Structure 1
Amino acid sequence: MNFELKSLDLAGSAALTCDALVVLVAEGFKPARDALSQLIEQARKAGDFETKPGKLLAMYKPAAAAAARLVLVGCGDGSPKQVRQAVASAVGAVKSPQVKKLVVCFADAPAPLAVRCAVQAAAEASYVYTTTKSKAEGRSLAGVTIAVPDAGAVRTELAQGKALVAGIEFAKEWGNRPANHATPTLLAGAARTLARFPRIKCEVLGPKEVEKLGMLSFMSVAQGSKEPLRFIVLRYEGAARTAAPSVLVGKGITFDTGGISIKPSAEMDEMKFDMCGAASVLGVFRTLADLQPAMNVVGLIPACENMPDGGAVKPSDVVTSMSGQTIENLNTDAEGRLVLCDALTYAERFKPRAVIDIATLTGACVVALGGVRSGLFSADDALAEALLAAGESALDLCWRLPLDDEYGEGLKSNFADMANVAGRAGGAVTAAKFLQKFTAKMPWAHLDIAGTAWKSGAAKGSTGRPVGLLVDYLLAHGDKAPAPSVEAKARRAQKTPAVKKPRRGTAAA
């Protein structure tokens, strides 16, 4: 979909010929003398229109505008969140095959981030998945013009919005594809297409290369599938080679049956979404391709299926990770952490400024946070705070959960260095504690997106999250050295040796 930006007031927007004109009206709107302004004021005084977020008044061929359809929509205080809600409501109301050209007009000068949110909301409301449909009608909306009083003041945000749409929709595409259309090999092919863009390189490793690296934990998950595993390495090189990269690690289980610890059949089809962490990494790189920021980013995707073949890994099997640590597999449905741990060890070679893994890891996180916020885990306060702030600015929210050392007690094993599960209680936290054992040499954070990566029911489909969060984090911090934590600053000031203490995150509500 094409987006363009124009400097237009209400009168100028009303003069545009288009299939639909959406006018965003915030609290405190002061009408001018033009016909459209007067129409808005009359409707408001009559009680037919309110400026509360999402409140609509729709008209067909109004005298006050050249558009075939006019929708007045309230956007509350004009904040990015309320603008997103307003645009989503309005575009949903006019969505039809007849509406191909849309104008979204801000009645007053918007906050810059509100423009980015308007672009994303228009794309989200009109998104249609078509890849595996025989006679699918694609997105009818072809072009959106964003009309603001001063286009020059928000050009950067428009560019960011367009790039985010490209990345989020790339993530959605691969998240939504059925497992037979998104195998590890096909996912690697999607990554290779990104290497066509400037500054992006892609390397794909197969079973022989992965075995040579010693990624036996990753390999154990794949051994029950006829589909060969793939380890995808993406590099965005926008800064000097000496600049430490941010590393994103995405869980790429392209279908998860649970293996020998097989899942219930109900809703198992949704386990095609178990590679949404990988899809989000692909989406971030698609956005970087358009924005071309001055930073280095590495994307690592361990991709495979988890199947219950006769050769599949069994409960009680002990495998050796790339780090040399051994793992007792008590539950083969806790496979995501087994592929991520080897990818996290591989990440050490890049001497990263920060490592963030993204995974649909635990049902326990869905129970804790639902589908509103992703779970965030990190022992690095500065990194955690940066990710929380990025989630707020991107409207792609997360919530910090604890990493107390006591949560790791359940991972002890009589037969290996650790077990891969620690019981049901605190399952999202104990999964993070498992991953933490492979991250001692680098600043690390874990995003559990099991509740936010896709929607079920009538709206079933990938959300493209947390592409927005990750991009905002990179734009704010990807070209900077990581800030030391409060404790590290205090130790340096006192010039005393570090004392190991358990880190505590913010308790979940």
Structure 2
Amino acid sequence: MNFSFVSGDATRTSGDLLVIPLFEGELGDSAPSSLSSADGALEGRLRGAATQEGFKGRADQSLVMHTLGRTSSERVLLLGLGNRARFHPEVLRLAAGRAAKTAQRLKVTSVAFALPATESTQDAVRAVVEGVALGVYRFDKYKSSAREEKKGAAKLGKVSLLLPEGTERTRELDAALTLAQRVAEATNWARDLVNEPPNAVTPTVLAEAARQAAKEGGLKATIGGRRDIEKLDMGMFLGVTAGSTEEPRLIHLTYMPKNARDAKQPPLALVGKAVTFDSGGLSLKPTDGMVDMKTDMAGSAAVLGAMKVIAALKPPFPVHAFIGACENMPAGNAYKPGDILTSRLGKTVEITNTDAEGRLVLGDILTWATEHKPAAIIDLATLTGACIVALGNYIVGAFGDHEETVTQVLQAARTAGEEMWRMPISDMQKDALRSEVADMKNSGERWGGSINAAIFLREFVGETPWVHLDIAGPASSPKERGYLSKGGTGVGVRTLVEYVRLRAQTQDTAPAEAAPEAKASKAKPARKRAK
């Protein structure tokens, strides 16, 4: 999709559809120039139609009207943004997604989008570009009817961004547009991985997708198999994958700055859960709970998608992605309730539920990540249904007790427009994981399930600053909403990219202050089990 900046009269801007976002109250005297010129060309009929249809600029409101040849565009679309005082770029991103879906429905090939006058034009550009690019996404490759429809079908290919009156095109705006395109493309790529059926995205296929992404971005990729996992003494990981005929894969992508001094900085470690299909193992899920378990690798998809953008951002510190990919299947050799597994760290874990498998794989991968002495670790995982019960389908649960790192991740999420809520991680819940025969259990009581899972993971990060993001709800959308389609969302890509950007900016502006923090955040060496 081609995006470009234009200036001037909205009614003369080229595009099949003219999109005009409006805040509440802007239908009157405070109307932006784009609305005034369009309404003038239509002899007042646009405002009249809006009044008649009850359009007031509230969020989620929209109105389409044919221009009957009175403007360069065949139709004009009014989008509601709600109250200006409560505006956040995410509102505009969602609105742009609705505009993209409207354009698809109308089968238009070009759109002129009037950027609203907001506090930051750069943020507005990113919101619109991301919203449109994410909004046109569809996963229908397996529908024969869709394949027939696509042959010669009209496709939105050109979007002209009409700058607010008095705003000039700058390098900063160009950079914002480029970044937004990269983020949207990476997010849609991650959505594809999540939406693919489990027979199409196996651990091996996921590893090859990671290898290809690394090749395109100039990253180093190291892919390991079962023998490598055995050499690393990842007993929990091996336990989970034991019942599957699909071979597990160990994935490690590395971005390394070219500057020698930057390359010596403590790295950032990103960890993604990659259970490409989760049947629950011998603690078998019911059929309804198993249908969407192809999405149980959404954390890894987000990490890999973010790495594609990070490779282009070139931050002044190394970034590592650590992923353990496998299936969780029932079989005669599958791990069983009552088994005791030994982790890479040396801790023993009593298995009380084979459907609490993600934390087992992540525990070994987190230990592996800490051994690279990162400045911080962020993991993303579709970990617990309990988090969906607590926060619903659109809010990520954030866990961690390193205040600065948690605050930075939440700030990045707010900027990126991905909603997160900090959850408690309290030692008061540790008793739920107490075992009579091992160091701990992998699953405790029902109550506080998402907290219990976070406490389990915390055992494997030592003193390293760490944030756990439970994306079980937002990883897949139950319905179409704004720029979201039903299915995989790519949640986490935008937050991770923004976190790296903010961290890079902090390091660039205050290098002398970054060193003490990095030194203090080094992890203690992992304790390996005796052989």
Q: Does 2:139 align with 1:129?
A: yes
Residue from 388, 402, 406 that aligns with 1:366: 388
Residue from 321, 331, 340 that aligns with 2:343: 321
Tell me, yes or no, if the aligned pair for 2:243 and 2:335 is still in contact at 8 Å: yes
The 3-state SS of whatever aligns with 2:3 is strand
Indicate the larger mover: 230-239 or 322-331.
Answer: 230-239
Tell me, yes or no, if the aligned pair for 2:118 and 2:124 is still in contact at 8 Å: no
Deviations 1:204-262 (A, max 9, x none): 01000110011111010000000000010011223632011111100000000000000
Residue from 499, 502, 519 that aligns with 1:476: 502
Q: Does 2:196 align with 1:186?
A: no
Residue from 234, 240, 255 that aligns with 1:221: 240
Amino acid in the other structure paired with 2:140: T
Indicate the larger mover: 62-71 or 361-370.
Answer: 62-71
Residue from 137, 155, 159 that aligns with 1:144: 159
Q: Distance in 2 between matches of 1:70 and 1:171?
A: 32
Indicate the larger mover: 352-361 or 264-273.
Answer: 264-273
Amino acid in the other structure paired with 1:210: I
1:171-320 to structure 2, matched below 5 A, reads 171-238=190-257, 240-320=262-342
Q: Distance in 2 between matches of 1:284 and 1:315?
A: 36
Deviations 1:107-145 (A, max 9, x none): 546722122111121122211113434453459222322
Indicate the larger mover: 452-461 or 195-204.
Answer: 452-461
What does residue 20 of structure 2 align with?
23
Residue from 61, 70, 77 that aligns with 1:71: 77
Tell me, yes or no, if the aligned pair for 1:257 and 1:308 is still in contact at 8 Å: yes
- The Cα of 1:173 is off from its aligned counterpart by 0.6
Measured on the aligned residues, the alpha-carbon RMSD in Å equals 2.5
Q: Does 2:47 align with 1:44?
A: yes
Q: Distance in 2 between matches of 1:345 and 1:107?
A: 47
Q: Distance in 2 between matches of 1:32 and 1:173?
A: 36
What does residue 104 of structure 1 align with?
113
The 3-state SS of whatever aligns with 2:371 is helix
Indicate the larger mover: 321-330 or 75-84.
Answer: 75-84
What does residue 430 of structure 2 align with?
408
What does residue 5 of structure 2 align with?
6
Indicate the larger mover: 90-99 or 260-269.
Answer: 90-99
Provide closer, same or farther for how the CA distance between residues 198 and 81 of structure 1 changes in structure 2, counting only shifts above 3 A.
Answer: closer
Q: Does 2:160 align with 1:154?
A: no
1:330-341 to structure 2, matched below 5 A, reads 330-341=352-363
Amino acid in the other structure paired with 1:19: D
Provide closer, same or farther for how the CA distance between residues 367 and 333 of structure 1 changes in structure 2, counting only shifts above 3 A.
Answer: same
Amino acid in the other structure paired with 1:17: S
Indicate the larger mover: 21-30 or 121-130.
Answer: 21-30
Tell me, yes or no, if the aligned pair for 2:11 and 2:41 is still in contact at 8 Å: no
Provide closer, same or farther for how the CA distance between residues 79 and 321 of structure 1 changes in structure 2, counting only shifts above 3 A.
Answer: closer
Instruction: Give the share of equivalent positions with the same residue, in percent.
Output: 36
- The Cα of 1:480 is off from its aligned counterpart by 5.2
- The Cα of 1:163 is off from its aligned counterpart by 1.2
- The Cα of 1:151 is off from its aligned counterpart by 2.6
Indicate the larger mover: 463-472 or 300-309.
Answer: 463-472
Tell me, yes or no, if the aligned pair for 2:247 and 2:326 is still in contact at 8 Å: yes
Q: Distance in 1 between matches of 2:116 and 2:441?
A: 59
Tell me, yes or no, if the aligned pair for 1:361 and 1:449 is still in contact at 8 Å: yes
Q: Distance in 1 between matches of 2:417 and 2:42?
A: 29
The 3-state SS of whatever aligns with 1:288 is helix
The 3-state SS of whatever aligns with 2:221 is strand
- The Cα of 1:72 is off from its aligned counterpart by 2.4
Indicate the larger mover: 320-329 or 82-91.
Answer: 82-91
- The Cα of 1:282 is off from its aligned counterpart by 1.1
The 3-state SS of whatever aligns with 1:159 is helix
| Structure 1: tracts of 5 or more residues without a match | 493-509
Residue from 339, 343, 350 that aligns with 2:372: 350
Deviations 1:9-29 (A, max 9, x none): 3x1x42233222212234433
Tell me, yes or no, if the aligned pair for 2:271 and 2:366 is still in contact at 8 Å: yes
1:399-438 to structure 2, matched below 5 A, reads 399-438=421-460
Tell me, yes or no, if the aligned pair for 1:170 and 1:282 is still in contact at 8 Å: no
The 3-state SS of whatever aligns with 2:215 is coil
Q: Distance in 1 between matches of 2:418 and 2:36?
A: 38
Provide closer, same or farther for how the CA distance between residues 41 and 73 of structure 1 changes in structure 2, counting only shifts above 3 A.
Answer: farther
Tell me, yes or no, if the aligned pair for 1:109 and 1:148 is still in contact at 8 Å: no
Tell me, yes or no, if the aligned pair for 1:229 and 1:305 is still in contact at 8 Å: yes
What does residue 526 of structure 2 align with?
none
Amino acid in the other structure paired with 1:94: A
Tell me, yes or no, if the aligned pair for 2:217 and 2:312 is still in contact at 8 Å: no
Tell me, yes or no, if the aligned pair for 1:294 and 1:479 is still in contact at 8 Å: no
Tell me, yes or no, if the aligned pair for 2:478 and 2:486 is still in contact at 8 Å: yes
Q: Distance in 2 between matches of 1:109 and 1:427?
A: 41
- The Cα of 1:34 is off from its aligned counterpart by 7.3
Provide closer, same or farther for how the CA distance between residues 212 and 387 of structure 1 changes in structure 2, counting only shifts above 3 A.
Answer: same
Provide closer, same or farther for how the CA distance between residues 416 and 237 of structure 1 changes in structure 2, counting only shifts above 3 A.
Answer: same
Tell me, yes or no, if the aligned pair for 2:242 and 2:333 is still in contact at 8 Å: yes
Provide closer, same or farther for how the CA distance between residues 293 and 144 of structure 1 changes in structure 2, counting only shifts above 3 A.
Answer: farther
Q: Distance in 1 between matches of 2:384 and 2:35?
A: 57
Q: Distance in 2 between matches of 1:471 and 1:385?
A: 16
Deviations 1:415-462 (A, max 9, x none): 111110111010000100000001113111100000110023675310
The 3-state SS of whatever aligns with 1:195 is helix
Count of residue pairs brought into register by the alignment: 483
- The Cα of 1:410 is off from its aligned counterpart by 1.4
Tell me, yes or no, if the aligned pair for 1:373 and 1:397 is still in contact at 8 Å: yes
Provide closer, same or farther for how the CA distance between residues 22 and 318 of structure 1 changes in structure 2, counting only shifts above 3 A.
Answer: same
Provide closer, same or farther for how the CA distance between residues 107 and 219 of structure 1 changes in structure 2, counting only shifts above 3 A.
Answer: closer
Q: Distance in 2 between matches of 1:151 and 1:40?
A: 29
Q: Does 2:101 align with 1:92?
A: yes
Q: Distance in 2 between matches of 1:212 and 1:33?
A: 66
Amino acid in the other structure paired with 2:3: E
Tell me, yes or no, if the aligned pair for 1:188 and 1:230 is still in contact at 8 Å: yes
Indicate the larger mover: 48-57 or 332-341.
Answer: 48-57
Tell me, yes or no, if the aligned pair for 2:397 and 2:423 is still in contact at 8 Å: yes
- The Cα of 1:284 is off from its aligned counterpart by 0.4
